[in-house]
Structure 1
Amino acid sequence: MYIYNHHFVNGTMFILRMLPPLVVLAVSAGICYWIFWSEPAPRKFPQKETLPEVSVYTLEPIDYQVWLHSQGTVQARTESSLVSEVRGKVVNVAPAFRVGGFFEQGETLLEIDKRDYETAVLSAEATLARARLALAEEEANAAQARTDWERLNPGVEPPELVSRKPQLAQAKADVASAEARVENASLNLERTTITAPYAGRILEKRVDIGQFVNSGSVLAEIYAVDYAEIRLPLSEREIGYINVPELYRNDSNPVLPMPTVNLTTTIGNETLHWAGRIVRAEGAFDVQSRQLFFVAQVDDPYRKQGDGRPPLKVGSFVQAQIEGEVLEDVIVIPRELYRKNEYVVVIEDDGILRRKSIEIEWSDEESLVVSSGLNPGDRVCLTHLSFPSEGMKVAVVSEDGIDVANKSAHQGADAKQVVR
């Protein structure tokens, strides 16, 4: 007897529906497995070590010119007050007698009323004439008295009063006094004309025409224009690098080549230059700054220049570059190669980096003169490395401005030529 089981029928139908998808999944999985495991293994290439690339230059001893830097204010070599030696009214003023005016030595700057002094000269000359007349009369009287005495007392020396010696001495003294008065009156008359004591310029004007001045009144402040001087301070360390002869008591000024000085100042947007020389050192250190002042001199600073450059005016502030000694056979490096002000990076022949401490003999804004720590032939690293550790390996790509590859090629070509 056949029994219909619907549960069995339903399960069979479910299996038949699910079987195709399962077969597809199984086949796909097999294909993926086969593709994955049958793919050839990737080739492995050896990794090359990447080294920091640097440029170097080889140290060689050179002669280094030291330049000392300072600054100062331009001053006149000679400054003085123009003073009246007589009293009176100013009656004439020269066109140059104004602030900033130039004048030459002996030039008349102003005149004081002369009439009183001309009268004084005439009066003194009249007094001198009377004194000379009195002297002549006294000399005649003395000669007559001596003649009379000798006639009455032959062979006997007359007394001084009889020979009129005291009267004659007084008459001579009166003549000398009158001559001195004439000379003094003439000198005062000359002093009414105020002349320039040297070639110079008016710094400050104190009087003008029509003004009454007394003896000793300051008429103007003036200064000489033949030279300009600048006091330049140098420290005790810097003094050791400048050649200026010392001055000693009872010793004549040494005639030696003095250091040159380059002076610069800025006016507006233009930088101007002058050349001068050190002429002397002052005799004492400044007790506060411990500096010694050296005096630079510029000849004829107000002469008109062919390039249209303005004159070097008194009161100008200038920067100075002073010629110092020449250091012979020294090692010099750029200042930026002194890393952190602690060490210099040197690359050895095998490419190993070394950090060397140095001692500095001289330094300025751009260069360092090394006294110890570096040697001729050392290769100094020019490339900035973020972390230059001691002993690290680097690749030198440029040496003394020449690519290492090109340098090797040139050396190979030279060797071939030698073999041929």
Structure 2
Amino acid sequence: MSSLSFSLNLGTLFPVLLAITLVRVLAMLHYASLRRVYPGFRTLMYSALMVFSGVGLLLLRAWAGELPMLVFLSNMAMLVQGALVYHGLGQYGRVPRLRERTRQNCIFIVLVSSLQLADVLIDPNMERRVLVLCAAAMFMSIRIAVELPMRGVRILPGWRIMCFSYLVTAALQVLRAYNVLTIPEFSALTMQTGGVIGVYAILYRIMQGSLELYVVFAMNSAMLEDDLHAATARIEHMAQTDALTGVLNRRGLELLGAEALRTSFLAGDSAAVVMFDLDRFKRVNDTLGHAAGDELLRGVAAMCQGSLREGDVFARYGGEEFVLVAPRTGEREAVLLAERLRVAVESALFPVMAGERVTASFGVASADQGGLEALLQRADAALYAAKESGRNRVELSTGPGLRREAAA
């Protein structure tokens, strides 16, 4: 009976890591070509590219030997990869003062890389070089794992998990440093053959790279979805807003006004609808022009909007006609509210009118049940009565009314 056995070493794992990292870079490039990506995505893609470059340089070192430039570039690639991860995750997490913190990382990398180069050129010592690199990589990993979650403002799917994964990276660097200290006569050959700690470190890097790919896709997709919801809300708001005055339009009134009535009636309260239009508005358009008429409508809408109570729904119903839905408002209170608005319109000095006064007629309807359309019809009938009674007055509806064209 035969047995099957195999061994893992750095010579077999490095090419696997190289291939997986290349696939990760290509996947991120393809994703970025198909949809919008946010700040942090490309930075993390560059970090994967830096892993690919670092592993390639390590393989080249194994083949060409410990050339000073190869040592400098491979060690620097490892540290730059950590700085890019810090910056990319920091962008996604909206970490404050990120540019300053990234600048600190860059200065740190330049100092460590300079020490490594000086070591190779002046007094080569593999054990010292590896220990310095382990300490530097451990520092970068702890900064990612601890500092980013503490300072992050926006938490996206998988973001904290990705940050915390670098705690394991830091622990592996500690174990690697301990391994170096316990191996007598540590050399380049010893580093290339690795050992159990080196094998575990590469295996973990492969798993961490896969996790990073999943997390960066998840974070970017979550931000795309948030932007889609925000854009939908903006479109919905535009569809419910009158372009001229900035208040609700008829569609917005039908949605929000009906909801305000329903809430009031469910709570056992009365609600009221106040409908008004500007008296002799056609004369304004005819004498001063339509631009002046538009300016007057904007001024009246702004004045009324500023006088609303919490929960009131105010809309331009059409032309010079406006509607106010007043939830939790009885008949007497609604009449007083309309009277205050009437006096406010009459007392206001609108610059476009060149000192000429503006008046408005009001119709009020109140109920403790029913729908918005029925109240609008009653308020409209009361408004018609106000027009017929001489304008610039408030009329209360006493019964059902029908829709008609108001007197000019």
- TM category, shorter: under 0.3
Q: Which has the larger radius of gyration?
A: 1
The structure with the greater share of residues assigned to strand is 1
What TM-score, normalized to structure 2? 0.23
What TM-score, normalized to structure 1? 0.23
The structure with the greater share of residues assigned to helix is 2
